[in-house]
Amino acid sequence: MNNITKEPLFSAKNLKLFTDQLDKNNPITVQVLGICSALAVTVKLKPALVMALSVVIVIAVSNVVISAIRNFIPDRIRIIVQLVVIATLVILVDQVLKAYAFDVSKQLSVFVGLIITNCIIMGRLEAFAMANKPWPSFIDGLGNGAGYGLILIIVAFFRELLGSGTLMGYPVMEKIGAYSIGYENNGMMILPPMALIVVGLIIWVQRSRNKSLIEK
Amino acid sequence: MKHFSNRYIFIFSTVMVVIVATLLSLAATLLQPAQARNLEIEKKKSMLESIGIQADRENSVELYAKHITESFVINSGGQNIEGVDAFSVVLKNEQRKPAEEQYLPVFRAVSQSGEQVIILPVEGKGLWGPIFGYVSIKSDMNTIYGVTFDHKGETPGLGAEINTSWFEEMFIGKKLFDNDSFTSVIVHKGGADEGDIHGVDAISGGTITSKGLENMLYDCIIKYSDYLLKNRI
């Protein structure tokens, strides 16, 4: 063990674990995971932000926990163990939000609980944390959470702006006087299908810029 | 892959479950006071909102003490029930009881302008979960002074709009009774007619929530109709 030179914490390889998830290996637009919550919480920007943050916390911490005990987890019940760890963390996040960020927890309501079923988290535990050391797993978790959150925020930005004419509840369209020249909010943007279409547009833009992502 | 015996798997799962259970119950116990306080503040805040007073987390307890003058519980016949704290009545539990045994809380309040009003709690079903709120009624026991609604999990931007001011403001000045018969407030899809004293606009895309809200108002307030008719001016 001693003759292996210790890898620096922020080595290029580790950083890549983070940055890849934002673009080239984005969980939503490239791996197409976690779409359901992307539809549900992106009508307004604020719930999307808190949801993104909650997912980052849950995925990073559960990655670390699973990675730390990966050599003790019996293979046959590993999925159950992963689920227990995720569920515990999600319940903790939910309880803390209820106690210290009551307004936000009210807005997110059931969606916090539904983080448990977010396939990105389970996918990362199974694919990465079970086979890697805690620190890279932590970075990988952060990266995936951030990649998920980034798309959530982009979608929520357009849906709130075009659908409700506000951003974080601030009436942008009214302030710039768009209504007085005949502009109207597009009610379609509020409906779930438009979230899919926005995600589709993001995928389109991303793949036209990076041809290597196009499937053969 | 390392092989684990069944014995190990059993021990592993037991230890894991015990650790997780301890952790969660610890968190639940430690956070419980803060959560209960949040709920109390929230309740006081929404009651104040129904009489047009915007409170925030800091001053809601103080404003509540100032504006809510009296609270009591009645039954469906309109008689007072002694010895029950109106604030701690949980409406959801009451609604499971037979109609004549239900506790119906009434809060007397003074609005910002000094007007005497009563506040009635309401609770019902939306599309995804419970919806609830407070309706304040002027001293003629017929005209709505103000309302506030909230929900657990209605769709943001659609059903969830019931807690926004544009929706709640439509209820102000609506009448609950047509002469002596209870009509409640009706939610009209496609918009209520101008000057309709019992009608408000439904939320487009939130029809089931709007209908649920209409039923909630009807079902909850009709239980008070004896009391409201008796105390009319």
pLDDT tens sequence across A43-61: 888 888 888 888 899 999 9
CB A109 within 8 A of CB B153: yes
B59 band by pLDDT with thresholds 50, 70 and 90 = confident
Q: Domain for residue B32, yes or no?
A: no
The Cα–Cα gap between B10 and A62 comes to: 22
Comparing A30-44, B69-83, B209-223, the range with the smallest average pLDDT is: A30-44
pLDDT value at B172 more than 80: yes
Q: Check if B31 contacts A (Cβ < 8 Å).
A: yes
pLDDT (0 to 100) of residue B84: 84
Q: Which of residues 165-184 of A touch B (CB under 8 A)?
A: none
Q: Which residue has the higher pLDDT, B218 or A24?
A: B218
Q: Domain for residue B36, yes or no?
A: no
Nearest 5 degrees, angle CA A121-CA A123-CA A128?
100
| The pairing of beta strand B199-201 with beta strand B186-188 | parallel
Q: Check if B4 contacts A (Cβ < 8 Å).
A: yes
- The structure tokens listed for B171 are 């209820």
pLDDT (0 to 100) of residue A2: 45
pLDDT value at B14 more than 90: yes
Q: Which of A69, A95, A103 to mutate to test the interface with B (most CBs of B within 10 A)?
A: A95
Q: Which residue has the higher pLDDT, B21 or A185?
A: B21
pLDDT value at A146 more than 60: yes
Q: Domain for residue B116, yes or no?
A: yes
Q: Which domain holds residue B75?
A: 47-230
**How confident is the model over A119-140, as a mean pLDDT?**
89
CA nearest to B93, candidates B53, B68, B121? B121
B27 → closest Cβ in A44, A73, A92:
A92
pLDDT value at A4 more than 60: no
The letter for the amino acid at B135 is: V
CA nearest to B111, candidates B155, B67, B77? B67
**What does pTM read for this prediction?**
0.74
pLDDT (0 to 100) of residue B210: 92
Q: Domain for residue B210, yes or no?
A: yes
pLDDT value at A3 more than 50: no
CA nearest to A143, candidates A7, A40, A31? A31
**How confident is the model over A157-168, as a mean pLDDT?**
87
**How confident is the model over B143-163, as a mean pLDDT?**
85
- The structure tokens listed for A191 are 């409906």
CB B67 within 8 A of CB B109: yes
The Cα–Cα gap between B111 and B98 comes to: 33
A155 contact residues in B (CB cutoff 8 A): none
B132 band by pLDDT with thresholds 50, 70 and 90 = very high
The Cα–Cα gap between B15 and B127 comes to: 41
Q: Check if A101 contacts B (Cβ < 8 Å).
A: no
Q: Check if B218 contacts A (Cβ < 8 Å).
A: no
CA distance B129 to chain A (A): 10
Q: Domain for residue B3, yes or no?
A: no
Q: Domain for residue B18, yes or no?
A: no
3-state secondary structure of B176: coil
Q: Which residue has the higher pLDDT, B14 or B195?
A: B14
A84 contact residues in B (CB cutoff 8 A): 16-17, 20
pLDDT (0 to 100) of residue B46: 87
pLDDT (0 to 100) of residue B233: 67
User: Quick one: closest CA in B to A86, which residue?
Assistant: B20
- Please enumerate, as own/partner, the contacts of B70-75 that have beta carbons within 8 Å and a separation of 24 or more: B70/B107, B70/B108, B71/B105, B71/B106, B71/B107, B71/B108, B72/B105, B72/B106, B73/B103, B73/B104, B73/B105, B73/B106, B74/B104, B74/B106, B74/B224, B74/B227, B75/B100, B75/B101, B75/B102, B75/B103, B75/B104
pLDDT (0 to 100) of residue A6: 61
pLDDT (0 to 100) of residue A7: 66
Beta strands in chain A (DSSP E): none
pLDDT (0 to 100) of residue B58: 80
The Cα–Cα gap between B110 and B43 comes to: 17
Average pLDDT, rounded, for chain B: 88
CA distance A156 to chain B (A): 12
pLDDT (0 to 100) of residue A66: 93
Comparing A26-35, A154-163, B32-41, B110-119, the range with the smallest average pLDDT is: A26-35
The letter for the amino acid at A163 is: G
The share of chain B scoring above pLDDT 90, in percent, equals 33
B17 contact residues in A (CB cutoff 8 A): 84
A187 contact residues in B (CB cutoff 8 A): 204-205
Other CB atoms within a 10 A radius of the CB of residue A208 amount to: 10
The Cα–Cα gap between B173 and B196 comes to: 11
The Cα–Cα gap between A55 and A213 comes to: 25
**Which of A46-55, A59-68, A178-187 has maximum average pLDDT?**
A59-68
pLDDT (0 to 100) of residue A211: 79
Contact B12 A43 (CB under 8 A): no
Other CB atoms within a 10 A radius of the CB of residue B145 amount to: 22
- The structure tokens listed for A10 are 């922020």
CA distance B93 to chain A (A): 21
The Cα–Cα gap between A101 and A76 comes to: 39
Q: CB neighbours of B11 closer than 8 A, spacing ≥ 6? A: none
Please report how many Cα atoms fall inside a 13 Å half-sphere around the Cα of residue B135, on the Cβ side.
Answer: 27
Q: Domain for residue B199, yes or no?
A: yes
The Cα–Cα gap between A147 and A186 comes to: 27
Contact A99 B8 (CB under 8 A): no
Q: Domain for residue B175, yes or no?
A: yes
How many domains, in total, are found in chain B?
1
CB B67 within 8 A of CB B53: yes
